[in-house]
Structure 1
């Protein structure tokens, strides 16, 4: 609503300017007007006459009597009256139209949302996260961006996402984004305390959604997990580790950066074990397996407990990203230890 309110303020300022110009015109030629109360027309009388004239009320107690005053009413004040009405009526219609269009747009995408992705915070982290998820085959129409900045949400909607302006720590804002029916929620706020509150609110609304959150300080990660986050990424530490790895081995740093860029070069993906792989070791599969997800544990490929794969296991594999193809959307965020 920030944009319509700004437009209303601009229109009201213009209407006030028209009123002041009319008052000045009438007062400058006050001798050409007659007041039935005391004959003379003061500055207050001029303001009164301009107000009732522009609003088309016209009580008739002050009237133009001279030829110059009547000519001024015909050539100047009447066009000003029309402009004044256009400003007020146009503003009302525009605000109502904007509200109606916004409500229609929100209701349209809300009615079609099921198992969608909610992104809270559309800064650098939020954009990068959703681009990675889109590489798995998710449609942009299944993404809802929540951000307190109207400009950020406008940019998101221009990119093809649905958008909600508001504070995501408030449950009614997340409800507008249909977070209670979302499949996954990505929390990429600027502040760690905000991330904690959003996580608490989101988990209260949706017990089954996969919630992934980012924090700046590693000491806040346990608090986010306690608040209901399934996975927590420490942005500052992760960037620092990648920098350190690149210093020790630039080639290894390049490989790691390639792995976290979904859809190009090498991709790190999670997939279910197929029947043909049951009973085999991770080394005997066709893919390069780096870890096995069994229950809520992430085990290394050389862990003795996963010497034989089970049908309920999931594999973390490294695959070659093929241009023009999409990774299976059955990928799930990795639980963090």
Structure 2
């Protein structure tokens, strides 16, 4: 994974920024503004043509005014036509010169935006894409998405390894302040997901704010990345099954989880506090998942030692608790859910 300096691109380190106007419209506006300023200078020179002198024939025609305007704005200046009166020179210094700078800035800015900048962005985006691998992609940076990113960073995930996709520049600014890579794009579009190398991601977190949008994003991600784990947030219980059918690996219902915390607090004043402690890296204990290690093979979940305790194992897609027979003997390939104290609160390894 590339380091932060290698991933910087513009203010938001965006992989691609969508334009609010089509390219042709933006170009038309710029050229229109430049031509309007040129016509304004032509009008000013024609109005003050008595202060100009033509060193060839002594007569200043409209064509001469147009000619003088163009060589004046482009700072060419052949000297065949020149301002001679005090008023004409004052007009050139006070009015025409600022307009000349404005026209030049428009043309230079247009060349930069449509040629230099776009070529540079295309080159840097290709470099970023080459380095995007084994990263975390967060699709939607609302309340759930921002909390998830903050927790990932607190748990030790490098912010350079997180790519946030959203359509709100304000949200992307917050993600950038956290050190993440950001992209202003629609997560339901194939090309947007391909821009962040979705098939090379280690995991995808989806929190679009609406269940229908989140499920559509899951469908799109699963189509492009059949093997990448996907976690999605849905709020309606009826949509949990739909999210799993769409291809979500994990489905989280914050409303249901809140209900569990409320019910837990009703059965004991410290139950909800302990559940929140488990979910956060800032608590005294941590709930983590890992693959079974060679030293775990043959042991029970309650026999892991090293300050950690196994709670559940997953084998062939089925879950077994520490009290079940399958939980009494760990096998190669099992995924284990363990609880351990945080390093600040006591010894223990995962």
Instruction: Provide the TM-score with structure 1 as the length reference.
Output: 0.77
Q: CA RMSD in A?
A: 4.0
Whether 1:80 and 2:93 are equivalent positions in the alignment is no
Counterpart for residue 89 of structure 1: 107
Counterpart for residue 306 of structure 1: 327
Unaligned runs of 5+ in 2: 1-16
Counterpart for residue 292 of structure 1: 313
Counterpart for residue 178 of structure 1: 197
Q: Would you say the 8 A contact 1:2–1:150 is kept in 2? A: no
| DSSP-derived class of the 1:125 partner | helix
CA-CA distance at 1:67 after TM superposition: 2.8
Change (3 A) 1:265 1:53: same
Change (3 A) 1:75 1:133: closer
CA-CA distance at 1:136 after TM superposition: 4.5
CA-CA distance at 1:270 after TM superposition: 1.3
- Cα distance in 1 between the residues matched to 2:193 and 2:275: 34
- Cα distance in 2 between the residues matched to 1:121 and 1:266: 28
CA-CA distance at 1:163 after TM superposition: 1.9
Unaligned runs of 5+ in 1: 331-337
Whether 1:134 and 2:153 are equivalent positions in the alignment is yes
CA-CA distance at 1:179 after TM superposition: 0.3
CA-CA distance at 1:74 after TM superposition: 3.2
| DSSP-derived class of the 1:279 partner | coil
Whether 1:318 and 2:339 are equivalent positions in the alignment is yes
Q: Would you say the 8 A contact 2:302–2:311 is kept in 1? A: no
Counterpart for residue 218 of structure 2: 199
CA-CA distance at 1:227 after TM superposition: 0.7
| DSSP-derived class of the 1:250 partner | coil
Which of 277, 280, 290 is 1:258 aligned to?
277
Counterpart for residue 333 of structure 1: none
Which of 137, 146, 162 is 1:143 aligned to?
162
Change (3 A) 1:81 1:278: closer
CA-CA distance at 1:200 after TM superposition: 0.8
- Cα distance in 1 between the residues matched to 2:119 and 2:176: 17
What is the 5 A alignment of 1:158-173?
158-173=177-192
Q: Would you say the 8 A contact 1:280–1:307 is kept in 2? A: yes
Which of 264, 274, 285 is 1:245 aligned to?
264
Q: Would you say the 8 A contact 1:268–1:316 is kept in 2? A: yes
Deviations 1:255-283 (A, max 9, x none): 11111112542100112333444333322
Change (3 A) 1:237 1:164: same
Counterpart for residue 230 of structure 1: 249
CA-CA distance at 1:234 after TM superposition: 0.9
| DSSP-derived class of the 2:227 partner | coil
CA-CA distance at 1:230 after TM superposition: 0.5
**Size of the alignment, in residue pairs?**
320
| DSSP-derived class of the 2:270 partner | helix
- Cα distance in 2 between the residues matched to 1:86 and 1:248: 74
